[in-house]
Chains A and B, each alone.
Chain A
Amino acid sequence: MTTSPLPGTIRHDEIVPARAPWMHRVAAGETLRIVDLEGNQAVDFLMYAADDDSERYSAQDTIAAQRNLFLRECAVLLSNEGRPMMTITGTSVAYHDTIGGACSCESNTLRYGHHTKAQHSCVDNFLDANIRAGRGKRDMVSNINFFMNVPVEADGTLGIVDGISAPGLTVDLRAEMDVIVVVSNCPQINNPCNGFNPTPVRMQVSA
């Protein structure tokens, strides 16, 4: 699939280094484009209503309302109050994950062994960004993993498998309300979500 030009003018354009957090306010009507620069990079994504951060992205509400686990084009990302926060207006990747959650040093000890405790994680990135804005651990909820692939088999078996992204593929999100977006450009090196090699992503905001 090809990626069309962003509508309007670019108001923000930034490269998020591999393994790093990123936080940005996106106003209602603006479009955020995430570019998977080198392919198969998981972008862990949370968002909060800008005027009341106890309203935040809800994976379960989003799944229930769209009656599907996979986030595809036209998916409306809902808050814990059932309100639209952002809409996926375009994506050159078939679908994105919202059940796999974020890696943490604690969950890494369960998945791979206690030797991984010292590794950097998405929860550390989310906390790093959020704490600087007055949010803490209570603000951590199930997130979106853009460019990540988590299929569910008939017997319920699920897992993070090889990605379906490629260099230059994108996802576009139109803000339906003013939101604070918090991203962890995932540092995971133990599973296929980043091809075992975290890489940078590009964030563009246009209006």
Chain B
Amino acid sequence: MTTTTADPYGARDHARAMTGTRVEAMPTLPAAALDAPGETVWEETIAPAGYTSRRIARGTRLRLIDVAGDACASMLVFNAETPTERLNVADTLKVQWNGYLGAGRLLLSDMGRVMMTILEDDAGTHDAFCGASNEASNARAYGDGKNYGAHPNARDRFMLGVARHGLGRKDVHPCINWFKGVRIADDGATLPETGPFPPGRTLVLRAEMELVVVLANCPHVLDTRADFTVTSLRATAWRGEPAAEDDPVRTATPEGLRAFLNTEDLYAR
């Protein structure tokens, strides 16, 4: 096809000729996923070094897939209606008496509520200790870390993600890194588990509140590989209900049960 962009008609034709292009990292609109067990509301593949942010409704299931085995899904979570309420990593670990995240664990807000439940996890290597890479850490590791360069850092990706929801630099809080793990030695040393891992590892979360979720997909801050190594991350969400009264995760621990009671109290209105 021959196009000229010397005038607006040609420029318009040239731009419109791109319609229907498919690449790996892109959203699918309207959202559709043949492998989702419910009505799909979000289907997007996040590029290596990419980011995204999205509002999801209470009850929504969010599935993350480490497509090729080297994704690092750094995540922030906000109460969509009152974003000053956000994920509190310290409370998430301390209240549940454990530093390692996996199926059955809860993500807790700084207001004592359940934000999300981890329903399924076949990865097992996650990190709630070491947080996001920053411009300085990427510059040390790869030579540069700026958003406009070849090696963006997760914290600056978060900044762009939260900005889409009217939030700013002060709202970029401590995060969780899914798919890349850190274990703790007796002396407190951090032992990274950064893969690469088998492709297709999957995590399923349930939103227990109205949420804004922000994802950045950049190499883990403790990844020692010389190359900026990260692969695509797939996010799929489908409609569902929040935890039922007899949900086994809801009643599993006294701390968790009280967190669910606090969440349910928020929506008693």
Which A residues, 53 to 102, have Cβ-Cβ distances below 8 Å to chain B? 54, 58-61, 63-65, 67-70, 80-83, 95, 99-102
Question: Which of B100, B184, B221, B259 gathers most chain A CB within 10 Å?
Answer: B184
* List of B residues within 8 angstroms of A29 by Cβ: none
Stretch at the interface among A5-13, A150-158, A178-186: A150-158
Q: Residue-by-residue, is B137-176 near A (CB-CB < 8 Å gives 1, otherwise 0)?
A: 1000000000000000001000000000000111111110
Stretch at the interface among A19-27, A35-43, A136-144, A164-172: A136-144
* List of B residues within 8 angstroms of A67 by Cβ: 189-190, 222
Q: Which of B94, B173, B189, B222 contacts A141 (CB 8 A)?
A: B173
Range, interface on chain B: 35 or more
Kindly state whether residue B110 has any CB partner on chain A within 8 Å: yes
Which B residues, 217 to 245, have Cβ-Cβ distances below 8 Å to chain A? 221-222
CA distance A99 to B221 in the complex (A): 17
Stretch at the interface among B33-41, B125-133, B195-203: B125-133
Number of interface residues of A (CB under 8 A): 47
* List of B residues within 8 angstroms of A102 by Cβ: 90
* List of B residues within 8 angstroms of A152 by Cβ: 99, 184, 188
Residues of A at the B interface (CB closer than 8 Å) are 54, 58-61, 63-65, 67-70, 80-83, 95, 99-102, 104, 106-107, 109-111, 113-114, 123, 136-143, 150, 152, 154-160
Q: Could you show 13 A-B contacts with beta carbons less than 8 Å apart?
A: A60-B89, A61-B134, A64-B129, A81-B134, A81-B135, A99-B94, A106-B111, A106-B113, A107-B91, A141-B173, A142-B174, A143-B90, A152-B99
Per CB-CB distance, the 10 closest pairs between chain A and chain B, nearest first, are A101-B90, A60-B131, A106-B112, A156-B100, A82-B136, A70-B188, A64-B130, A69-B188, A152-B184, A138-B170
